[in-house]
Structure 1
Amino acid sequence: MKKRTTIFLQDKTFLSASLLVAAAALAAVTPPAHGAKPQHVQQDDDLADSEYAHGRILVEPREGVSEAGFDEAIRPHKGKRRKMGQSNIHMIDLPPGSEKAALAKLRKDPQFKYVELDRRVKLSATTNDPYLGSEWHIGKIGAPAAWDLAQGAGVTIAILDSGIYSAHPDLAPRLVAGWNVDGNNADTSDVCGHGTAVAGVAAAAMDNGAGVAGVAGNAKIMPVRIAFKDASGSCYAYYSTMASGVTYAADHGARVVNLSYDSAPASAAVQSAANYLKSKGGLLFVAAGNNNRDEGYAPTSSMIAVSATDSADARSSFSSYGSFVSLSAPGSYIYTTNMSGGYSAWNGTSFASPVAAGVAALMMSANPALDGAKIESLLYSTAVDLGTPGRDIYFGNGRVNAAAAVAAARNASATVSKDTSAPTVAIASPSASSSVTGTVSVGVNAADNVGVARVDLKVNNTVVASDSSAPYAFSWDSKGVANGMAALVAVAYDAAGNVASSTPVSVNVANSTTVVSADTQAPTVKITNPVSGRVSGNVNVKVSAADNSGAAGIALALYIDGQLKATGSGSSLSYAWKTGGLSAGQHTLQSIATDKAGNRSSSSVQVTK
């Protein structure tokens, strides 16, 4: 038998010499030139049948699209819609085999922000080896110094993955209730082992005298199962389960969400869910991928994409890269919890992502008053700059530095200056004095020195729709106003309460008119958001109405717990509801619609804070 040679490292970890040589050789792989053109973004039309879910697609209607308009658009495709939590993302169930045909048609419909196939996605991990690794990453990022200031208490990290082995002694004390969005049940047991390993990196219990310590070892862990195991034993998720998992976590109080699966930055639905999480003060961390290439994804501010580094602060040989990378973190030979109740080492950006997520949880624990935007900004400004000076495609803003980030977060309140700069906002389309009929697409450009919180579209001084994420796009039913000139104004708000209005754009409404007999039919009205369930943070309340005599004569009113909160006219009404000051428990929203003839109807929704 060949004798095994081991090397004794300063941290008392034993590694196989042959494996160390192999690791060194991998680390020496030279990445492609900085300017190399990425060729790896695969378009929906190019996906093979095995790469996406059959019988469904993902869409998001523009703000202002009515229930009737939505249903009319998907009716020719025999589609049925399902809403994801309190977000505006919808899954459309279709006859299997019709996905690409529906995709091509609906992408041409101006009522939708995006339409995409429900892509099948692999996890971002490479082969694990129980003889490799130690918690070298804890010292590398300065976690012990950070722990002197904060250990994650009071923060919940949602792990969107294959589930978690709940009996693991290093995880059981940290777990809170979660959900299985793949199976639509409460079974969050681990089907692959990947989720258990990721959870341990982020928040394995600390100071318990055994095992390993997560980066934020006193944070809570919310298991959200988004994955399934196929016949070959491989674990996969879909864009739909990823987006649904993010919205579930946001709706149930998680401020940090980790998603260690490939291709998340390429999905418009996942980006939308990430923006929804950000609107509630949370942050989504995603793995950059393990393909050792420029993935070609467009940069996005909706999520934090993390590439992997090794113990020498070099890019891990397997780590993907590109202009979409926001941050880097240790991802080679990360020792963590496993599904057998023990411990083993893993490689992958799957494990770099929860390292960064754990640091964010430490920062939030150190200073709970900081919003997600400030946490993100401090993560970047305190990172250790690697590679080309400044942000680059391999390390993003640098390798995460827990000690510096937590210290900066703790002291941030003394250095944060009040934001007094209002956003800039302008209506991009339609053009002034143009004639419009029926459903009108309205595009708005808005920007702010810190960030735009939401944009309202007003027609004749009545808010008809609100959008909380770029691109700010609306669908306005012009039949909700009388023929003639109508004034469109966009109003932008930032998180500090600064407000700016666009220059009014007047358009000529020229819808055909019909003679209507005596009207005895009441209008229909529905609160489309929120749906029954849990709410938190800022909630965009949406009311949709229709009438046999046309939308122009509908008067709308919104009541919350019996108090009038907003009024308007036409087919839709929006209201920005701040739930932060509400008491815990049930709250009732009621909408009332009255047509010109005095016919009235109402609908209500009960939610829980």
Structure 2
Amino acid sequence: MPRAGLPAHALRALLKVHGAKARKVGQSELHIVDLPPGLSEKAVVNVLARNPHLKFAELDYRVAPSFATNDPYAGSQWHLANIGVPAAWDTTLGTGVTIAILDSGVDATHADLAAALVPGWNFYDNNSDTRDVYGHGTKVAGAAAAVANNGAGVAGVAGGARLMPIRVTDTSGLAYTSTVAQGLTYAADRGARVANASFAMYDRFSVKSAAQYMKDKNGLVMMSAGNTGTQNTAAATTSLITVAATNSANARASWSSYGPAVALAAPGVSIYTTTRGGGYAAVDGTSFASPVTAATAALLMSARPELSSTQVEDLLYRTAIDLGAAGRDPYYGYGRIDAAAAMRAALSVTPAPDTQPPVAGITNLAGGSVVSGLVPIDVAASDNVGVARVELQVNGTTVAIDSTAPYGFSWDSSGVPNGSASVTAVAFDAAGNRGTSSAVVVSVSNALVSAMADSTAPTLSIVTPVPGPVAGTVSVSTNASDNGGAAGIEQSIYVDNVLKASGKGSTLSFSWNARKVAAGTHVIEARARDAAGNTASTTTLVTTN
């Protein structure tokens, strides 16, 4: 992931040294880097991870599903009563909510799943074929949302929800961090409110970043803790919810992994669910505790669609049955989920209006500094509820937006004239409150471009969004360069022919609320003009639901 504001040509240049090329992941800022044959992935990662203009670089790992055993003769859905699902069903079955299942695909012909399915994508083969190639995905999908009240088979926890099948595995059921990151971004861009990935990847930066991207779009991601029965030392994260497994006695399953990252526990032993080919079986694993939790979140979102992802997460945590040591512990997290209690709390909650602004500060740039070229800028931001995004502004113009902590930018200082420049960071929360840092005034000193007759138009591109579906708050950013120097470029951004942002320099950004526009196709246009009056423009088409 490059730092926000890093010009596209700069990213291409630092990868070109290794003969590498980057593929952008959906509407997010994540990239998958492809290397030429024979080059060491580890060697390149070691170099890129130390580059100050990249947030992180990590290897693409392949991970097995968190699946333990399979007993085809157990036939009781004990877990539904255990967590109070029937009481929650008195309010809703999960209607109106889409749960993305990132797995080996889903059997679309299964009588207990077919009616719930919506189109998804296969990120392993990069096509629309989401048939289950291993069998695991169909079991996970059934635990979450097998159709309820249809007089047949089993009932998923959210038996009225929709299921979006996203295949992220090879034919042996092994998933890659890159395919999971792509799947989460795809689901978020298409308005899914919940995603389940039954693979213990909660220690990978790329997966956590993609999960945060979905959370920023008002969704939640659940992930299985793993089945090693040993401690995983990965740190706790707020990007996703890691789920351990319990049995019918509300004790941790012996094979359930534990550690600081575990946030919740849920039934994961003898979970009766759907199987590929139209059948049913009881299965074990944190692979199934995770979708049970995901579906519980879907019930709350269905009952109270106006609640934010953070509010739903808080409801799950504070209504969980505290097991083990008091408070959050490494075996059960906040405790075993309680769907009935969470639903009661969701129905009774009256969210108080959030009027407290975030706090922001630039931490690594001192006033009076002389800068040139690309300047790394770190920002510390906090809020009583949560920071939604941080904007970097130079001389009052937003040049980059970062929505994933830790907040870091690469400012192209050649985009302003030499001399004094004022740099500020503005943090926003979900309620629209804003907090602005103290201004840091620096002296820009870049090599001057020689003055000469200029008949060449600027080069201009829209970095985000890429063509396709968008949802929620969309970061719109542009990149421009010119033979006469970036400082002489004036840029503007239009949405459906309405001016939304303007400024000078090589980069320009603004946040567009796609929830407030009509469903359909929208035109985003960028325009640039250099100091000699040469102009350029480019457009991209996006769709909203």
> TM-score over 0.5 for the alignment?
yes
Residues 153 and 220, structure 1, Cα contact 8 Å, conserved in 2: yes
Residues 337-371 of structure 1, C-alpha deviations (whole Å, 9 max, x = no match): 11121111111100000010010000011111111
C-alpha displacement of 1:133? 5.2
Paired residue secondary structure (1:154): coil
| Corresponding position of 2:6 | 65
| Corresponding position of 2:204 | 267
For residue 381 of structure 2, the aligned residue among 439, 446, 453 is 446
| Corresponding position of 2:42 | 100
Q: Distance in 1 between matches of 2:248 and 2:382?
A: 40
Q: Distance in 2 between matches of 1:253 and 1:183?
A: 23
| Corresponding position of 1:220 | 162
C-alpha displacement of 1:181? 1.1
| Corresponding position of 1:248 | 186
Of stretches 95-104 and 207-216 in structure 1, the one that deviates more from structure 2 is 95-104
- Partner amino acid, structure 1, of 2:233: G
For residue 287 of structure 1, the aligned residue among 206, 209, 224 is 224
| Corresponding position of 1:147 | 89
**Match status 1:75 vs 2:16:** yes
C-alpha displacement of 1:528? 0.9
List alignment gaps of at least 5 residues for structure 1: 1-59
C-alpha displacement of 1:134? 2.0
Paired residue secondary structure (1:88): coil
Paired residue secondary structure (1:377): helix
- Partner amino acid, structure 1, of 2:3: R
For residue 90 of structure 1, the aligned residue among 27, 31, 38 is 31
**Match status 1:335 vs 2:272:** yes
C-alpha displacement of 1:400? 0.4
- Partner amino acid, structure 2, of 1:173: A
Q: Distance in 2 between matches of 1:538 and 1:207?
A: 36
Q: Distance in 1 between matches of 2:412 and 2:316?
A: 43
For residue 492 of structure 1, the aligned residue among 412, 427, 440 is 427
Q: Distance in 2 between matches of 1:77 and 1:587?
A: 37
**Match status 1:121 vs 2:59:** no
| Corresponding position of 2:115 | 173
| Corresponding position of 1:362 | 299
Q: Distance in 1 between matches of 2:427 and 2:148?
A: 44
- Partner amino acid, structure 1, of 2:180: M
**Match status 1:517 vs 2:440:** no
Residues 463-513 of structure 1, C-alpha deviations (whole Å, 9 max, x = no match): 111111101100001111111221110011111111110011111212122
Residues 65-107 of structure 1, C-alpha deviations (whole Å, 9 max, x = no match): 1111111110111111111111111111111342122112211
Residues 142 and 274, structure 2, Cα contact 8 Å, conserved in 1: yes
Q: Distance in 1 between matches of 2:516 and 2:49?
A: 40
| Corresponding position of 1:539 | 474
| Corresponding position of 2:324 | 387
Q: Distance in 2 between matches of 1:393 and 1:108?
A: 32
Q: Distance in 1 between matches of 2:449 and 2:474?
A: 38
Q: Distance in 2 between matches of 1:491 and 1:160?
A: 35
List alignment gaps of at least 5 residues for structure 2: none
Q: Distance in 2 between matches of 1:514 and 1:286?
A: 52
Residues 268 and 287, structure 2, Cα contact 8 Å, conserved in 1: yes
Matches within 5 A, 1:368-517: 368-412=305-349, 415-517=350-452
| Corresponding position of 1:20 | none
C-alpha displacement of 1:325? 0.7
| Corresponding position of 1:571 | 506
| Corresponding position of 1:549 | 484
Q: Distance in 2 between matches of 1:326 and 1:432?
A: 41
Residues 193 and 338, structure 1, Cα contact 8 Å, conserved in 2: yes
**Match status 1:589 vs 2:517:** no
Q: Distance in 2 between matches of 1:594 and 1:495?
A: 34
Residues 162 and 228, structure 1, Cα contact 8 Å, conserved in 2: yes
- Partner amino acid, structure 2, of 1:283: L
Matches within 5 A, 1:281-320: 281-320=218-257
Identity over aligned pairs, percent: 53
Q: Distance in 1 between matches of 2:49 and 2:142?
A: 41
Q: Distance in 2 between matches of 1:514 and 1:68?
A: 18
Q: Distance in 1 between matches of 2:444 and 2:236?
A: 39
TM-score computed with the length of structure 1 as normaliser: 0.88
C-alpha displacement of 1:237? 0.7
Q: Distance in 2 between matches of 1:514 and 1:249?
A: 45
Q: Distance in 2 between matches of 1:240 and 1:335?
A: 30
Residues 377 and 409, structure 2, Cα contact 8 Å, conserved in 1: yes
Q: Distance in 2 between matches of 1:588 and 1:381?
A: 43
Q: Distance in 1 between matches of 2:37 and 2:154?
A: 46
| Corresponding position of 1:27 | none
| Corresponding position of 2:104 | 162
Q: Distance in 1 between matches of 2:395 and 2:197?
A: 43
Q: Distance in 1 between matches of 2:249 and 2:390?
A: 46
Residues 101 and 141, structure 2, Cα contact 8 Å, conserved in 1: yes
Residues 234-289 of structure 1, C-alpha deviations (whole Å, 9 max, x = no match): 32010100000001111112101000012x21111111111110111100000000
Residues 449 and 485, structure 2, Cα contact 8 Å, conserved in 1: no
Q: Distance in 2 between matches of 1:102 and 1:378?
A: 43
C-alpha displacement of 1:119? 0.6
Paired residue secondary structure (2:60): strand
C-alpha displacement of 1:548? 1.0
Paired residue secondary structure (1:117): coil
| Corresponding position of 1:44 | none
C-alpha displacement of 1:575? 0.7
Q: Distance in 2 between matches of 1:251 and 1:499?
A: 25
- Partner amino acid, structure 1, of 2:340: A
Residues 166-203 of structure 1, C-alpha deviations (whole Å, 9 max, x = no match): 11111111111111111111110001110000000000
Q: Aligned-residue CA RMSD in angstroms?
A: 0.9
Residues 149 and 407, structure 1, Cα contact 8 Å, conserved in 2: no
Residues 203 and 215, structure 1, Cα contact 8 Å, conserved in 2: yes
Residues 150 and 406, structure 1, Cα contact 8 Å, conserved in 2: no
TM-score computed with the length of structure 2 as normaliser: 0.98
Larger radius of gyration: 1
Q: Distance in 2 between matches of 1:546 and 1:514?
A: 13
Paired residue secondary structure (2:335): coil
Q: Distance in 1 between matches of 2:452 and 2:48?
A: 35
Q: Distance in 2 between matches of 1:514 and 1:194?
A: 60
Residues 425 and 491, structure 1, Cα contact 8 Å, conserved in 2: yes
| Corresponding position of 1:601 | 536
Residues 449 and 484, structure 2, Cα contact 8 Å, conserved in 1: no
Residues 549-571 of structure 1, C-alpha deviations (whole Å, 9 max, x = no match): 11111100001100111001111
Residues 112 and 146, structure 2, Cα contact 8 Å, conserved in 1: yes
C-alpha displacement of 1:411? 1.9
Paired residue secondary structure (1:464): strand
Q: Distance in 2 between matches of 1:174 and 1:411?
A: 29
